[in-house]
Amino acid sequence: MMESSNVVINDSLRNSTPCYNDDVNLFEMEKENPVSVVTELPLSKSTVPISHEVVHTEPVEPSPAPWVNRNHPSDVVLDRIIAQVYVDDIVFGATSEKLVNNFTKLMESEFEMSMVGELTYFLGLQVKQCTDGIFICQSKYAKDLVKKFRLDNAKKARTPMCSKARINADSSGKSVDEKTYRSMIGSLLYLTASRPDIAFNVGLCARFQAKPKESHHKAVQRIIKYVNSTIDHGLWYSRQDLVEDGILKLTYCPTEHQLADLLTKPLDSPRFEFLRKSIGIGPQD
């Protein structure tokens, strides 16, 4: 779901338009015969109405590139709308305000809807839309996570893993409760949606969920202590194309600046913090 949410957000950035959030009243929907809305989008700027039909929810082979209107030449710019549906929540964005209004009216004609407005919160993601970009974080979720595992008063960590750490099966180590360990891993995996700086470390520790040892538990605790020290960090999506605008240029990248290292190995504090900042993770200015 997070990946598909990013599609909506990235499209919004490219078109400099806001994302929106709708809510469906499930109690008003037919319980024994659920339905879904199939919408043909987008349409050209000269045609505003959105064609739709209500069908039974059965597995259907999706049409390739449904947003491409093959009746128009490739050099014609088309308006489009991208929508993501998750149970009773809808996140969508469009290239024009007219399409936004039409889509909202269409949904309201089929379901009991409440238009929440511009997207600010979705599945634990806190979204702040600004004129120059979009900031996404999970600070509330992260704070609850730290408190859940009683590490809110523990000493904070500058990095999620020591650069000299060697995590292995540790077959001779002392076993810990599997349920608690898996809960910690699952909670952290959800946080990686807005925190790719912990993705490698969480993935490494996730390998040992079958027979977790004390050494693995301590490694996961360090990740949570790091999360506690960076509660307000999130991802900044800039609306500006830094390459096209000449702010960034493609050039040789020395080894110490390789961003992939952040996702593939433990690093020392200075280099970890440098690379973390390079991929846009930090507190909102």
Model confidence at 12: pLDDT above 70: no
Give CA–CA dist 164/156, Å, rounded. Answer: 18
Q: pLDDT grade, residue 44 (50/70/90)?
A: very low
Average pLDDT (77-104) is: 81
Question: Which tens digits make up the pLDDT trace of 198-209?
Answer: 999 999 999 999
Q: For position 25, what pLDDT does the model report?
A: 63
Instruction: Find out whether 156 and 225 touch, Cβ atoms under 8 Å.
Output: yes
Average pLDDT (261-270) is: 86
Average pLDDT (183-197) is: 94
Average pLDDT (6-10) is: 66
**What percent of the chain is predicted at pLDDT more than 90?**
33
Model confidence at 90: pLDDT above 90: no
Q: For position 97, what pLDDT does the model report?
A: 84
Q: Is the pTM of this model over 0.85?
A: no
Question: Which tens digits make up the pLDDT trace of 111-151?
Answer: 787 766 788 888 888 989 888 888 999 999 999 999 999 99
Model confidence at 32: pLDDT above 60: no
Q: What is the dihedral of CA 189, 194, 197, 202, to 10 degrees?
A: 0
Q: Burial level of 198, CB count in 10 A (0-12/13-18/19+)?
A: buried
Structure tokens at 19: 């994302």
Average pLDDT (94-122) is: 81
Dump strand ranges (E) for the chain: 19-24, 35-39, 52-56, 81-86, 89-94, 113-118, 121-122, 125-130, 133-137, 233-238, 281-283
Quick one: how far is CA 269 from the chain centroid?
26
Q: How many other C-beta atoms can be found within 10 angstroms of the C-beta atom of residue 218? A: 11
Question: Which tens digits make up the pLDDT trace of 71-82?
Answer: 555 555 567 888
Model confidence at 53: pLDDT above 50: no
Phi, psi of 211, deg, nearest 5 = -135, 70
Cβ neighbours for 282, distance < 8 A, ≥ 6 positions apart: 233, 234, 236, 276
Give me the residue spans of the domains in the chain.
Answer: 2-123, 139-283
Question: Which tens digits make up the pLDDT trace of 211-260?
Answer: 999 999 999 999 999 999 999 999 888 877 766 777 777 777 788 888 88
Q: What is the mean pLDDT of the chain?
A: 78
Average pLDDT (76-102) is: 79
Model confidence at 285: pLDDT above 50: yes
